[in-house]
Structure 1
Amino acid sequence: MGVKEVDVHMTVGNGATSYANNSAHQKIGISKAKYVLDESLKEMFADDGFPDCFKMVDLGCSSGPNTLSVVAQIIGTILRVRRLNNVDELPEMEVFLNDLEGNDFNNLFKLLPSFYKKLKEATGNEAIRCFVSGLPGSFYGRLFPSKTLNFVYSSFSLQWLSKIPEGLEDNKENIHMAMASPPGIFEAYATQYRRDFTTFLTSRGQEMVRGGRMVLTFVGRSVEDPSTRDDCAHFTLLASSLIEMVNEGLVKESDLHSFNMPIYTPSKQEVEGVIHNEGSFNLEKFEPFLVPWDAHVKHEDHTRGRISQLGAEGSVPDHIRGKLVSDFIRAYTEPVLASHFGSSIIDNLYGRYAKKLAEYLAREQPSFFNIIICLSKK
């Protein structure tokens, strides 16, 4: 397919299939990374003291409720550390929320009044000054002046590539790296990843102050060789749903053959290699963790009426699990698929996908392999 940049964004609004209402899975991942975030902030202040104005950015912030909850967590940690160090004066904080131009910033900004109210209640002091603003633009490039940022945070965004890799013409009915993909497909994805992550690190290296920290969480790969294990089986099932629709004449075969997801899940060795070769940061922490595909189902708010019947011992029936996992994946894949195949196929596609997921979850217990790293600016 022709190489093109992609305007990646989550499904906007507050509808049933929106990211705002289907990001409970990411929330679980964020909670698992909390201790690394807290420890990184404590170490930074222990090493470099407290700036008069703490400048931070959430890169790839999206538009759901998770964004401001993480900001609140970071502010809470800063205030606790300052109190432990007998620093009474409250700092000024400048918080930038970054994502691509297609992000639903309006939905995010509507949450700010509630955020400020809770912040005031939590601190019990009106003197705290926290200035939050939106910053549209790609993090694969410069976003800030030199040496201005103290802290960079990103959650489940760095697996997205800046563009479709070159050389995927032979991937045909695979919409991502799959065990059935030709060998050149893996290298094409890996090459684009190395280029993008290097650009990301170089840009942040120029923007951050010496001793500043980055905490990054993203979906990774559990094996070094992607041809030996299908860590992206959820995309294989999605491709299978599209193939069905091609066979029924609902999707053009040429459209399927020219589509690939702009996502790459790196291995531990790849992440460490790029960080070492780029050279702007020290790798302070590297923590992998697993999150089951359906982990958020147990956290789902059943009062919304989406789960009407529980199985034995309170378990969620497979068809409901399949639907909820489909909704979660739809919230971040629908915009890319709709822009390529058209919006008219979307409900049909994800309906089929939910059934395939239900069948798969009935016999397998798959998990996403996630990575959290902490970097310090040299």
Structure 2
Amino acid sequence: MTNLYSSTHPKSLAIADLGCSSGPNTRLASPEYQVFLNDLPGNDFNTIFRSLPGFQERMKKQLEGGTGPLFFTGVPGSFYGRLFPTNSLHFVYSSYSLQWLSKVPNGLEGNKGNIYMAGGSPPSVLKAYYDQFQRDFSSFLTCRSEELVTGCRMALAILGRRSQDPSSKECCYIWELLAMAVKEMCMRAVAEPLLIGHFGFGEAIIDDVFRRYKAIIADRMGKGKTEFVNVVVAMTKKG
């Protein structure tokens, strides 16, 4: 960030955090001037804004010389489209947001029982996810190339994998576990009234059944070694 500022000398350094969420990772912006916090309109921007005064005080203490004026702006909208004026940003940052697609891909009819790519997904489903990511990522790069000032930079952190298998546990295991949780909820919604109606099972017995089921899932996770691959990409806009 220091090198970027020294090489461009902008009067106001504009920084965009795309997919800022509403947790503590939001406040990783550099202590410069304009900071744009972007996420979908449903994001809890109020939580972010309430945390900013404390963040600014901590920054002043960490930097003995203090900071220049900090102006924060919430920017609701999808980062798969244009968000900022042409040539208006000096630094763009996105952390673990680009794995979220703009929409559910078409052609997932054969992916029954899964909420994402899984070991049992047919090739057509894997291709559908691949094609959707290609379209989304291309759109993201096109929009950011128009918004970034020439010579300025973008850093992206995303989940990746070493395996050639797009459904490998390196990147899909967390979604398989989530699918298990969803299935459990569906099973309970269907099975509970049937069991109580036909066999007179009470709530305590039903709860015990699903506690045992959760224990099986925990045991499966404990036996397998799960590693996640992080990919960091840094880019500079050329003239």
Which bin holds the TM-score, normalised by the shorter protein?
A: 0.7 to 0.9
Alignment of 1:124-139 (within 5 A): 124-125=64-65, 128-139=68-79
**1: CA distance between counterparts of 2:90 and 2:135?**
25
Q: CA deviation at 1:159?
A: 0.5
Report what 2:22 is aligned to.
63
1:182 aligns with one of 108, 122, 126: 122
**1: CA distance between counterparts of 2:233 and 2:67?**
33
Letter in 2 for 1:107: T
Report what 1:299 is aligned to.
none
**1: CA distance between counterparts of 2:116 and 2:67?**
50
1:237, 1:356 within 8 Å by CA — same for their partners in 2? no
Q: CA deviation at 1:43?
A: 4.7
**1: CA distance between counterparts of 2:153 and 2:132?**
25
1:63, 1:108 within 8 Å by CA — same for their partners in 2? yes
**1: CA distance between counterparts of 2:214 and 2:95?**
25
1:358 aligns with one of 218, 223, 235: 218
Amino-acid identity (%)? 46
Where structure 2 has 5 or more consecutive residues not aligned to the other structure, the ranges are 192-209
Q: CA deviation at 1:67?
A: 1.1
1:153, 1:215 within 8 Å by CA — same for their partners in 2? yes
Question: What's the TM-score once normalised by structure 1's chain length?
Answer: 0.54
Q: CA deviation at 1:182?
A: 0.8
**1: CA distance between counterparts of 2:83 and 2:213?**
37
Where structure 1 has 5 or more consecutive residues not aligned to the other structure, the ranges are 1-40, 76-91, 252-349
Q: CA deviation at 1:211?
A: 1.1
Question: What's the TM-score once normalised by structure 2's chain length?
Answer: 0.83
1:142 aligns with one of 75, 82, 95: 82
2:59, 2:66 within 8 Å by CA — same for their partners in 1? no
Letter in 2 for 1:62: S
Letter in 2 for 1:215: A
Q: CA deviation at 1:129?
A: 0.7
Report what 1:116 is aligned to.
56
Which one scores higher on RCO, CA 8 angstroms, separation ≥ 6? 1
Number of aligned residue pairs = 221
Letter in 2 for 1:362: G
Q: CA deviation at 1:45?
A: 4.4
**2: CA distance between counterparts of 1:233 and 1:206?**
36
Higher Rg of the two aligned structures: 2
1:376 aligns with one of 229, 236, 239: 236
**1: CA distance between counterparts of 2:234 and 2:216?**
37
Report what 2:4 is aligned to.
44
Distance 1:104 1:127, change over 3 A: closer
1:237, 1:353 within 8 Å by CA — same for their partners in 2? no
